[in-house]
């Protein structure tokens, strides 16, 4: 499996809209996508961590390079206070 972990900060007052958008672009929206999790951090309710899991690296990058993902990303950027910090990599251990 392959995926990404992203740290995002939401604009003030946009937390509910972020939640709505995150649910719209969630799991099952892209071929090969296995799971999506979004964490709202206790220390700052405007800070979120997103994890997205794909079947493999090829599926991840096919999604990342797709026009549909670009549209989803641009919708998300409307509520973010800057670019997310992306951390991509091979998933070496998981338990669900």
Is 60 a member of any domain?
A: yes
Q: Answer yes or no: is pLDDT of 82 > 90.
A: yes
Is 38 a member of any domain?
A: yes
* CATH number of the CATH domain containing 22: 3.30.70.100
Is 95 a member of any domain?
A: no
pLDDT band (50, 70, 90) for residue 27 = low
Task: Share the mean pLDDT of the chain.
Answer: 93
In the chain, DSSP assigns E strands to 2-9, 33-40, 47-54, 85-90
- Give the whole-angstrom CA distance, residue 63 versus residue 96: 23
Q: Answer yes or no: is pLDDT of 75 > 70.
A: yes
Is 96 a member of any domain?
A: no
The CA-based angle 56-58-61, given to 5 degrees, is 110
pLDDT band (50, 70, 90) for residue 25 = confident
Structure token digits, residue 82: 């800057």
* Number of domains composing the chain: 1
Q: What is the value of pTM for the model shown? A: 0.88
For the beta sheet containing 33-40, the strands, ordered from the edge strand earlier in sequence to the opposite edge, are: 33-40, 47-54, 2-9, 85-90
State the residue range of the domain holding 73.
2-90
């Amino acid at each position: 499996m392959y995926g990404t972990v992203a740290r995002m900060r939401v604009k003030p007052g946009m937390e509910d809209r972020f939640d709505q958008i995150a649910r719209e672009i969630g799991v099952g929206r892209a071929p090969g996508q296995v799971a999506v999790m979004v964490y709202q951090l206790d220390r700052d309710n405007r800070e979120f961590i997103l994890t997205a899991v794909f079947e493999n690296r090829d599926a991840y990058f096919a999604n990342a390079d797709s026009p549909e993902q670009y549209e989803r990303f641009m919708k998300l950027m409307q509520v973010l206070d800057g670019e997310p910090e992306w951390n991509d990599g091979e998933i070496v251990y998981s338990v669900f």
